[in-house]
Amino acid sequence: MEKIKNRFLKYIAIDTRSDESKANLIKPTSKGQLELGKILKEELNDLGLDAYINDEGFVFSCLKANTDKILPKVGFIAHMDTSPEMPGGIKNPQIIKYEGGDIKLKENIFIKENDFPFLKDLKGKTLITTNGEMLLGADDKAGIAAILDAIEYLINNPQIEHGDIKIAFTPDEEIGTGCDSFDVDYFDADFAYTLDGGRLGELEYESFNAAEAKISIKGKSVHPGTAKNTMINSISVAKELDDLLGQVQRPEHTEGYEGFYHMISIDGSIEDTNLVYIIRDFDKEKFENMKNFLNDCVNFLNSKYGNIIKIEMSDTYYNMGDVLKNHKEIIECAKKAMENLGIKVITQPIRGGTDGSKLSFMNLPCPNLFTGGYNFHGIYELIPIEDMKKASDTIIEIIKEISKK
């Protein structure tokens, strides 16, 4: 486990936050992603593999087949960027042998058992946590570490037969644009797995359908003393729009297969207010209905106030389950691999998306495997080293299962 731990610590020390404000300007959206990509290319070269990094930061490589058997070409994919929500590049994570109780990160900041009941299942494991100030980056540098650890093992154990094993590390997954230009033809895999899940045993093959709505409201500012029947407060109109969408379909009130509207930003004055919503649902028909309802709400308020609202809505990704239902054999292969290792398989919908959400619709069926991490996108993020190693073991076991075909 020392190798995978050291790999992980090396990767998380590089700040690879993606930057949504640059999504349509440069790729990748941060220099740190290119820096990490070059390091990963060198590591693959050191393992004896040809590796390529393009101008957009994608790293591609392949462990060539070591058998004359005709076997499927399988890919393993992880993303290099971390969430823009918090600083990355942590150089002083905490590594502890967990024996129970609350975990102190820094003064007055704890990962508490009462808040995170899963901690009871991690007793006896070695945890890497944040320092209480920044992201750990297990999402998704644990996936990168697991893939490279597995590839090195396969190279050192040539008695394990395999076909071509394709490898890709991608940029800007966290802002939903990374795989827009993924070269599926160059990657040349029959199917793939992303290593971008959470706790031990997760196997995900359904994701949200996702859209984003950018809304601008033009108000009318006059002196409040003479405002009657004249002022239009764009902030109040924004509140009215949010109220029309309702209280129930919000992230904090939904779970499982329930969709939501989520206001992720608002910036306003009496004269001008700008909002951004994300819209999510697993069911395509419900997803379309939710988008239509938001448009209906905007149209209603425009008829009331006189065309003061503009909306731009665009789809981000779709439910990969609509594709993967026709490729159940690759899901069953992953299940069998985990069962062989004594891992309890946890199948659940992703209440979000992965690169696989897009790649599955680009003719590359791509379910998602666990990395072992918890509490992504915040200071309470942590990962047991043992579970990250199990992710590597699962890759190897998938290869063994494929070789039996």
Binding-site residue numbers are 79, 139, 174, 196, 377
DSSP code per residue over 16-82: -B--GGGTTT-SSSSHHHHHHHHHHHHHHHHTT--EEE-TT--EEEEE---SSS----EEEEEE--B
Q: Which residues of 300-320 are buried (b: 16+ CB within 10 A; e: fewer)?
A: ebbeebeebbebeeeebbbbb
Instruction: Report which of 163, 136, 145 is spatially closest to residue 1, judged by C-alpha positions.
Output: 145
DSSP code per residue over 279-319: EEESSHHHHHHHHHHHHHHHHHHHHHHTS-EEEEEEEEE--
- d(CA 84, CA 29) in angstroms, rounded, equals 11
Binding site, annotated residues for Zn(2+): 79, 139, 174, 196, 377
CB 192 within 8 A of CB 75: yes
Instruction: Report which of 81, 83, 320, 54 is spatially closest to residue 187, judged by C-alpha positions.
Output: 54
| Token code pair at residue 35 | 């820096």
Mind telling me the catalytic residues?
81, 173
Q: How many residues does the chain have?
A: 405
Which helix (H) or strand (E) segment holds residue 126: the answer is strand 126-129
- Residue 154 backbone phi and psi in degrees, to 5: -65, -35
Instruction: Report which of 218, 191, 99, 157 is spatially closest to residue 397, judged by C-alpha positions.
Output: 157
Q: Which residues of 64-92 are buried (b: 16+ CB within 10 A; e: fewer)?
A: eebeeeebebbbbbbbbbbbbebebebee
Three-class DSSP category at 213: strand
Instruction: Report which of 247, 234, 244, 240 is spatially closest to residue 293, judged by C-alpha positions.
Output: 244
The Cα diameter of the chain in Å comes to 85
CB 142 within 8 A of CB 371: yes
Which helix (H) or strand (E) segment holds residue 109: the answer is strand 109-111
Backbone angle region of 124, left / alpha / beta, with phi > 0 → left and psi within -120 to 50 → alpha: left
